[in-house]
Amino acid sequence: MESILSAIWKRQITSAKMFRKMPEVLPIQTHIHLITSSMVHLVHQMQYFFLFEVIECSWDAFAKQLGQALSLDDIITAHSYFIDTIRRGTFLDEKSQELMDHLRSVYGPILDLQNLEETFLQIATQEYEMRLKENSSLDTTFPASTRLDLADIIDAKANKRQPAFLKYLNTLSIQLRLLSRTYQDRVKKFLIMLASAEDVSLQLLSVRLDFNEYYKSKDNRLVAPLTYLHRR
């Protein structure tokens, strides 16, 4: 997921200069940027949690137990506990199945965003190149009467083409709003599941994922005192 979001981010930065003279594209780029930023934050926080708070901390505990082991049975017991801790912490055990399933559903809109962004970039680039070609044609040295005729032809083509482009942008804007709403709803549910867990580390993860308290302001179940009531 990180590689997908990184590719989206790079393409948007690269295309920003190209689309600078297409103001109708700016709202779409801004919306994609905002959605991508929120997704990047969640993916990075989940990676940090799995790699450092779960795997690295579990490895440190395992290494200490190995140093204190007095028999092969002690080593086997320590290793089994290490594996169980990793599976539980990364949502791969049976009790965490619901969390893992919902985390996958949270990641779903990232793939949807990738498809929308790639299509947008392709269509917007085609429109940009058409406009560039039209402007180049007008800059070519022709007699005044020929330039006027050429300008009329170009304007006629643009008048037919651009409404379709604007209609596409409007449709895309609606799709992005729906995607953003779906993503936020799924993240909110995931945060509630984390906040309602008995494991304190999962409760803290919920807080860290909602670092600016955006989701907390949308649902009072994420307010700490109510979290424990919700769990019961």
Residue 162 lies inside a defined structural domain of this protein: yes
Residue 112 lies inside a defined structural domain of this protein: yes
> For position 157, what pLDDT does the model report?
64
**pTM, 2 dp:** 0.81
Residue 202 lies inside a defined structural domain of this protein: yes
C-alpha to C-alpha distance for 193 and 102, rounded to whole angstroms: 9
Q: What is the 3-state secondary structure (H, E, C) of 61-116?
A: HHHHHHHHCCCHHHHHHHHHHHHHHHHHHCCCCHHHHHHHHHHHHHHHHHHHHHHH
> What would the pLDDT profile of 99-120 be if each residue is shown by its tens digit?
999 999 999 999 999 999 999 9
Residue of 142 and 38 predicted with greater confidence: 38
Residue 36 lies inside a defined structural domain of this protein: yes
Residue whose tokens read 């006027």: 148
- At 71 the three-state DSSP class reads coil
> For position 131, what pLDDT does the model report?
79
C-alpha to C-alpha distance for 127 and 150, rounded to whole angstroms: 19
Residue 230 lies inside a defined structural domain of this protein: no
Other residues' Cβ atoms within 10 Å of the Cβ of residue 124:
22
Number of domains in the chain: 1
> For position 173, what pLDDT does the model report?
96
Q: Which domain holds residue 90?
A: 1-215
> For position 115, what pLDDT does the model report?
95
Residue 226 lies inside a defined structural domain of this protein: no
Dihedral sign for Cα atoms in the order 63, 58, 200, 74: negative
> For position 207, what pLDDT does the model report?
87
> What would the pLDDT profile of 150-189 be if each residue is shown by its tens digit?
555 555 666 677 888 999 999 999 999 999 999 999 999 9
Residue 33: pLDDT over 50: yes
Residue 142 lies inside a defined structural domain of this protein: yes
